[in-house]
Amino acid sequence: MRYALRRLGFFVLTLWAALTLNFLLPRLMPGNPALAMMTKFHSAGANPQTLRALETLFGVNNQQGLIAQYFGYLHQMLTGNFGTSLSQFPASVTSVIGSAIWWTLGLVGVTTVLAFILGTGLGIVSAWRRGGKLDSVLPPVFVITSAIPYFWVAMVLVLVFGITLHWFPSQGGYYVTTDSPGLNLTFFQDVVNHAFLPAMALLITTIGTWILTMRNTMITTLAEDYVRMARAKGLPGWRIMLDYAARNAMLPNLVGFAMSLGFVVSGAILVEYVFNYPGVGYMLLQAVDGEDYPLMQALFLLITVAVLVAILAADILTALLDPRTRAAR
């Protein structure tokens, strides 16, 4: 119980830190970037009420002191008032994000689950057949792939499978000109087709971590006495591998999985950028490009909150699955 409360306290503290960062950054930067943005809102024809809300968010033309601004800002954030988007004026930031989030959740969510399952499986086999073909090839290969930038893998895939071979579409989330979103099979196929290459790019660059972590933990577990005991009992090899060694080596990977779910929202910024995929990451970069600071601020907050929730979940998972953590606290 005390452990849970401490983790919850940390969650609140970090959330507060992220909110404060969001508040301070535009105010600390030289040249007052927010002022230029406000002029654009003016010329876009924003009504006085919208302008006042934005002034509170960014501290422009504001007679209030910094402390009063800060509490005004916190109040707006906690009541879910993230302001109005500049690049898609006059839509609210919340509705703009709402249209993009599902694309990211679908693409990156599914890919993360796949990468976890495949990577953990390969890691188990690789550690079990220590020194075998798989084990001597995989680790060095994935040490190198972990150093390759996501976006470059994405570009190579675009070049090879999109432009040269024409196997898969390499831009956007669906054919905007010929297809319209709806609950039908054609649209579904279209979406899967468009998601294939970005998903491969993510899979290639993320699977290595799962394989290496699983392999390295499992190698340690395989040396434990209870594994030797299981062998002495004459249990079949696959049972020792799965029920004895893999099960006990699984914890770091499971916790990592819980955490990586939080990075789903932010994990694919560059891949989405290369594929012009209509998700949250692409939107963040568009917001940066169009100096749409309210949208950028809200997206950064969303990304941070997603990560914080995932870390809280990972902590709880560790406590539930590993009795040693509970005893230690």
Please give the single-letter amino acid code of residue 54: L
The residue range among 42-50, 69-77, 101-109, 255-263 that interacts with another protein, by the rule CB under 8 A, is 255-263
Q: How far is the CB of 103 from another protein (least distance, A)?
A: 17
Q: How far is the CB of 316 from another protein (least distance, A)?
A: 15
For position 115 contacting another protein by CB under 8 A, the verdict is no
Q: Which single residue is written with the structure tokens 């699983």?
A: 214
The residue range among 13-21, 63-71, 92-100, 103-111 that interacts with another protein, by the rule CB under 8 A, is 13-21
Q: How far is the CB of 149 from another protein (least distance, A)?
A: 5
DSSP state at residue 181: -
For position 52 contacting another protein by CB under 8 A, the verdict is no
The three-state secondary structure class of 314 is helix
For position 105 contacting another protein by CB under 8 A, the verdict is no
For position 184 contacting another protein by CB under 8 A, the verdict is no
| Burial (Cβ within 10 Å: 0-12, 13-18, ≥19) of residue 185 | exposed
Q: How far is the CB of 314 from another protein (least distance, A)?
A: 11
Q: Select the residue interacting with another protein from 55, 303, 315, 318 (CB under 8 A).
A: 303
Cα separation of 213 and 246, whole Å?
12
Between the alpha carbon of residue 156 and those of residues 138, 141, 162, 201, 282, the distances in Å are 21, 17, 9, 9, 19
Binding mask 82-101 for another protein (x = CB under 8 A): --------------------
Q: Select the residue interacting with another protein from 219, 251, 313, 316 (CB under 8 A).
A: 219
Cα separation of 51 and 191, whole Å?
38
Q: How far is the CB of 51 from another protein (least distance, A)?
A: 20
Q: Judged by CB, which is closer to another protein: 82, or 128?
A: 128
Please give the single-letter amino acid code of residue 313: A
Peptide bond into 48 cis (omega under 30): no
Q: Which two tokens stand for residue 122?
A: 């390969």
Buried (b) or exposed (e) across 257-277, using 16+ Cβ within 10 A?
bbbbbbbbbbbbbbbbbbbeb
Binding mask 126-155 for another protein (x = CB under 8 A): --xxxx---xx--xx--xx-xxxxxxx--x
For position 248 contacting another protein by CB under 8 A, the verdict is no
- Are 188 and 195 in contact by the 8 Å Cβ rule? The answer is no
For position 300 contacting another protein by CB under 8 A, the verdict is yes
Buried (b) or exposed (e) across 66-77, using 16+ Cβ within 10 A?
eeebbebbeebb
The residue range among 104-112, 180-188, 195-203, 286-294 that interacts with another protein, by the rule CB under 8 A, is 286-294
Phi and psi, residue 118, nearest 5°: -65, -45
The residue range among 59-67, 82-90, 181-189, 261-269 that interacts with another protein, by the rule CB under 8 A, is 261-269
For position 260 contacting another protein by CB under 8 A, the verdict is yes
| Closest alpha carbon to 224 in 245, 201, 246 | 245
For position 112 contacting another protein by CB under 8 A, the verdict is no
Residues 306-325 touching another protein, rule: CB under 8 A, are 307-308, 311
Q: How far is the CB of 319 from another protein (least distance, A)?
A: 17
Q: How many residues make contact with another protein (CB under 8 A)?
A: 72
